[in-house]
Amino acid sequence: MKSLNTLLVLAALSVSSLAMAEGGSDRTFARMEQAREASLQAFQAAKQEQADASVNTDQSNG
């Protein structure tokens, strides 16, 4: 009976630790997604600035 109780306690602790680990991965994924969005916005802004600069250069040469 004691071994069964020990087994049940170990199973309960394992399940709870897996649940905590899953929550951590959700937070990590959310941070990763935010960083990706910020990076994409910065890239698009830089690309737009480069395009604007090339248009201004073309207009000043022409």
- How high is the pLDDT of residue 2? 82
Rounded to 10 degrees, the C-alpha dihedral 26/30/31/37 comes to 160
pLDDT (tens digit per residue) in 3-44: 888 888 888 777 766 666 666 778 888 899 999 999 999 999
| Sign of the CA dihedral with 20 first, then 24, 27, and 29 last | negative
The span from the CA of 5 to the CA of 61, in Å, is 84
Extract the tokens encoding 60: 């000043």
Domain range summary for the chain, segments of one domain joined by +: 16-62
pLDDT (tens digit per residue) in 53-62: 887 776 766 5
pLDDT band at 52 (very low <50, low <70, confident <90, very high): confident
Residue at 61: amino acid letter:
N
pTM higher than 0.85, yes or no? Answer: no
The span from the CA of 48 to the CA of 3, in Å, is 67
